Amino acid sequence: MARISPDGRLVVYSVREADWAQNEFVSQLWIQHVIGGDPYQLTRGKASANNPRWSPDSKRIAFSTSRDGKGQIWLISPTGGEAVALTNEEASPGGFKWSPDGKRIAFNSAGPEPKELKERKERYGDFEIYQQDYRQSHLWVVDVPEEVPTASKQKPKATAITSGTEYSVGGFEWSPDGTKIAFSAAKSPLLIDGDTSDIYTVGVADKAVKKIIATAGPDSNPLWSPDGKQIAFSTANADPHFFYMNGRIAVVAAEGGPVQIVADEIDEDIGPDEWGKDGIYFSAWSKLERGIYVVQPGGKARRLFEPFGISFMGASLSKDEKLAAAVAARANEYPEVYVLRNDPQSARIQKFTSFAGQYAKHNPANKEVVRWKSSDGAEIEGILTKPANFDPSKKYPLLVVIHGGPTGIDTPIRRADSYYPIERFAAKGAVVLQPNYRGSAGYGEKFRSLNVRNLGVGDAWDVLSGVDYLIARGFVDQTRMGSMGWSQGGYISAFLTTNTNRFKAISVGAGISDWMTYYVNTDITPFTRQYLHATPWEDPAIYAKTSPITNIKQAKTPTLIQHGENDKRVPIPNGYQLYQGLKDVGVEARFVIYKGFGHGISKPKQLRHVQEDNERWFLKHVWGEEMKEPALEEAKPEAKPDSK
């Protein structure tokens, strides 16, 4: 995210590169003057600098980094110089925010390890009691001196503002006068307790805590009104199926009372970003574009910068709200940093970076939006990527890449490829379809609910009807097709493995193979209950109907399975089940386990292998070509490849 300084003069943003020597993606902070000129790099080193936040006077930037081996809050001047660690906490601070006067910073943290836990480890060694061995996160405040001492022992000492075992603190915000902090807190930090999140306030001086909101379903992300009389927050509005229903923005008096829902006319999942004099700012998908909106309680939401046909990945405002900074992109463009003039009469937008230049020599493929009717009549959109030299009179292999979520979305914005080398597939001469299947974001609550008790089944309708639509257009070789996806996209690909034989090859990344197995293993158990409207014990039939493993005997498609060893979101037993089932019925399968990783593969070397292994799999089965793993001396990447 790009963040503009309160005085509107500077923008700070992060640039990420792969450090192949230490096998890490490293982000560093850069500064751009709003009036123009060349950007300059602000931070350096082997450790990433993340989450930059301006001081209210625009003279300092606080950021998170683990330069000294543990994540802490550091400070740096936007004009450069040495960064200095502000905190020296035993437990790394989480989110943090400046006080309105710039003299303090609040952060959430689990705090020092309890004495009882240390003694237990000494006596019995390390072990975990499932769903009981968590530590509650609480609010802490640390003073920010004019000159921060460099010696660790001299660091200012943080003070706990909340405490106890009753709740765990999530998001928070200072009151405009700096005397209180509004925060959300759940029964525990476990995802399964997310629906218990409520809104509280606490006095910074007296530490008096007051619960403001206690409705059913998660309430989070509190923001104060500029006059300090109201609090806006994200709410499920007591809907028990909040995983796929619209999240709303609500407003309540700072002392509690009736709740008012605002921007209810926006049929999407939304939450407040900032509250300024013009109203509550938020962002929302509208099909394939993500816009910025503002709304006054009691009024209608107004979309900003609408004529530009551009999607914004979050935005920040100057103190006077006349300027905003955002990372944004149009169709067939790469994301760049923009500065926007927030004027309803003459809105203007200016691009400040040119990261796309590094890709120009590769002649990127073109993306276009396609639409078709699914088997039940639902209208589905998707992104079709064509080779740069596409000829509609020719036949091309078709590869389907399915996003996760299910409330994710694919757009025609160009991005660096992650698990699946879409650009390389297109350069090889394939067309690539990325379907926004039922359940995707951007199309409203009704569309997002179409795969409730219909997971896999309805998703497969959407994928296969999209394939048929492209075949009917005449440029797809239906004898050379493949499908792949990660997370929910991996689940849909696994469902296709066992329910259709139309593909030459499939790749399942961190995918679900059995909803019952998933239900009892995942760290997000309520997800399954909400989408299937039952537990496995209440309705085993719906769990069987929607599970790929149920129809394993029908499988014939060669399948690559990729999974993180320590995945808690989609635990690895799902991968073992699918692999063994495929082997038992005589289907070619390859199972790659990425050691030490969770749900995502986050290091460049292993991520490179994920991509290349997918490329090898589809070259073999779709093109009939062999691509061997390179010898070690051939596999060494360049010291600093083009990346961002």
Question: Whole-angstrom Cα distance, residue 270 to residue 201?
Answer: 23
> What stretch(es) of the chain map to CATH 3.40.50.1820?
364-635
Q: What's the chain's average pLDDT?
A: 93
* Mean pLDDT score, 552-558: 97
Supply the pLDDT for residue 214. Answer: 85
Supply the pLDDT for residue 630. Answer: 65
Reference 322, options 4, 39, 97, 33; nearest CA is 4
**Sheet bearing 260-262, strands edge to edge:** 219-224, 230-235, 248-253, 260-262
Model confidence pLDDT, tens digit, residues 528-540: 999 999 999 999 9
Instruction: Work out the pLDDT band at 152, boundaries 50, 70, 90.
Output: low
Instruction: Name which of 356-370, 384-398, 605-619 the model is least confident about.
Output: 356-370
Q: What class does CATH assign to 364-635?
A: alpha beta
> What stretch(es) of the chain map to CATH 2.120.10.30?
86-228
Is 86-228 assigned to CATH 2.120.10.30?
A: yes
The one-character DSSP state at 357 is G
Helix intervals (H) in 365-407 = none
* Mean pLDDT score, 588-611: 97
* pLDDT at residue 644 greater than cutoff 50: no
* Mean pLDDT score, 231-239: 94
* Mean pLDDT score, 184-193: 94
* Mean pLDDT score, 71-91: 93
Helix intervals (H) in 357-456 = 422-428, 445-448
Reference 388, options 415, 427, 422; nearest CA is 427
Question: Whole-angstrom Cα distance, residue 279 to residue 551?
Answer: 53
Burial 329-348 (b: 16+ CB within 10 A, else e): bbbebbbbbbbbebeeeeee
Mean pLDDT comparison of 146-155, 314-323, 350-359, highest-scoring range: 314-323
Rounded to 10 deg, the angle between the 488-499 and 573-584 helix axes is: 20
Supply the pLDDT for residue 345. Answer: 67
Helix (H) or strand (E) holding 371: strand 366-373
Instruction: Work out the pLDDT band at 631, boundaries 50, 70, 90.
Output: low
For the chain, the maximum distance between any two Cα atoms, rounded to a whole number of angstroms, is: 75
- What pTM does this model have? 0.93
Helix (H) or strand (E) holding 573: helix 573-584
* pLDDT at residue 607 greater than cutoff 60: yes
- Asked if 300 and 339 touch (Cβ cutoff 8 Å), the reply is no
Give just the sign of the alpha carbon dihedral 13, 15, 16, 21: negative
Burial 595-620 (b: 16+ CB within 10 A, else e): eebbbbbebbebbbbbbbbbbbbbbb
- Asked if 168 and 189 touch (Cβ cutoff 8 Å), the reply is yes
Helix (H) or strand (E) holding 521: helix 515-521
Instruction: Work out the pLDDT band at 633, boundaries 50, 70, 90.
Output: very low
pLDDT above 90 covers a percentage of the chain that reads 85
Task: Return the amino acid letter for 569.
Answer: R
Task: Return the amino acid letter for 628.
Answer: K
User: Which whole-number Å values give the CA distances from 510 to 274, 338, 441, 494, 506, in the listed order?
Assistant: 35, 35, 21, 10, 13
Question: Whole-angstrom Cα distance, residue 108 to residue 335?
Answer: 31
